[in-house]
Structure 1
Amino acid sequence: MSIVVRDVREHELDSVLALNNAAGPSILPLDSARLGRFFDTADYFRVAERDGTLAGFLVGFGSRRGHDSSNFAWFAERHPDFMYIDRVVVASRRRGGGVGRTLYADIQSYAELRYPVLACEVFIEHDNDAARIFHGSFGFREVGQHVMPGTGIRASMLTKELCSYPWVRETYGDALPDQPWLARPRPLGEACLATGTR
């Protein structure tokens, strides 16, 4: 069955919140107010569906918009321009089925047209070898570590250079061609094109 990636809908936020808070210690819990702020401010907030059921989601913030995360601030001190993956969550029953890879491919296709670097972190405390291997297979490399204030959680800070960005920037500057597949996720007042992959 295909995996469909599309913009989150406001009426789905309760389901997204439940999915986030059931993910375990490798994902920080959320409350509905913070998730609502993500919905209002994130550059990228998309869900993956498999067989018509919510299978995962990914939230990302571009450095030009800003974000109140200490991990985002860590990257901002070191990179003038980047796309930050705040969180990716895959339903436990869907792990290992390609949902995470599909979400990462989708955010990379969005980010590489707009930012030179994709950034994220993996918590070290939980001995998360699977997450480190997953990110390494996507070309992410550790560029430092950061202890998150108020939590004591140590994170491995990862970045990936997006090799398409320089060519896109030199060729198009800030004006990408007017094509549906180049549209920003969650454009104001418009529906965004859903993509499906196998």
Structure 2
Amino acid sequence: MSIAVRDVREHELDSILALNNAAGPAILPLDVDRLRRFYDHAEYFRIAERDGALVGFLVGFGSGARHDSSNFRWFSERHQDFFYIDRVVVSSRRRGGGVGRAFYADVQSYAELRYPLLACEVFLEHDNDPVRLFHGSFGFREVGQNIMESGIRASMLTKDMSCSYDWVRQRYGDTLPDADWLVRPRNVAGAEVGA
């Protein structure tokens, strides 16, 4: 019953679309075109499997991306260098079973070597106390709120990773050692995700 986190594969996009759009009001719906842009351009797009079955996914972008999310833009206006978790979705029957924690451990270990700040948001319009508690337990703190174009109010959260990031930068500069676990999760075509 272990959880495996790995890069998404193109043939899994239909299953990811269905999982996203079944997640309920705490996750914005996706269409095929936007999901395809995520696949083609996200810096981090990984899935979680449990017992060989897809149980969730996480999509993230570095601050240099030309990503069209209003929440990403909010962080861009306030922070120069950050890694943004655009969405994390876990199958409803697997929530509370460690999948979210496995994702956040994986994305943090990726991001802290490359960015001094990890950023995400949680919608406030829904009963999201467990989600806010989850993020707080990972060291995220609210740094503001944003009313999205859809009218949804979001709590904007960040986690300072400068301790790890600064040490890595002082020791290695912009060139990380050649080690399998340090390879970028995905080799993407570019960094732009349009509307």
In structure 2, what is the Cα distance between the partners aligned to 1:137 and 1:22?
26
Kept in 1: contact 2:41–2:188 (CA 8 A): no
2:143 matched to which residue of 1? 143
Identical amino acids, percent of aligned pairs:
77
In structure 2, what is the Cα distance between the partners aligned to 1:73 and 1:134?
24
**Runs of 5+ consecutive residues of structure 2 not aligned to the other structure:** 190-195
TM-score, reference length from structure 2 = 0.95
Residue 56 of structure 2 aligns to a residue whose secondary structure is: strand
Counterpart of 1:92 in structure 2: which amino acid?
Answer: S
Do structure 1's residue 161 and structure 2's residue 160 form an aligned pair?
A: yes
In structure 1, what is the Cα distance between the partners aligned to 2:71 and 2:61?
12
TM-score, reference length from structure 1 = 0.93
Question: What is the number of residues matched between the two proteins?
Answer: 188
**Runs of 5+ consecutive residues of structure 1 not aligned to the other structure:** 190-198
Counterpart of 1:159 in structure 2: which amino acid?
Answer: T
Q: Could you list the structure 1 runs, at least 4 aligned residues long, displaced by more than 2 angstroms after superposition.
A: none
In structure 1, what is the Cα distance between the partners aligned to 2:106 and 2:170?
22
In structure 2, what is the Cα distance between the partners aligned to 1:9 and 1:95?
23
1:49 matched to which residue of 2? 49
Counterpart of 1:117 in structure 2: which amino acid?
Answer: L
Query: What does 1:95-106 align with in structure 2 at a 5 Å threshold?
Result: 95-106=95-106
In structure 1, what is the Cα distance between the partners aligned to 2:142 and 2:184?
28
1:75 matched to which residue of 2? 75
In structure 2, what is the Cα distance between the partners aligned to 1:82 and 1:29?
24
Aligned alpha-carbon RMSD (Å)? 1.0
1:184 matched to which residue of 2? 184
Do structure 1's residue 111 and structure 2's residue 111 form an aligned pair?
A: yes
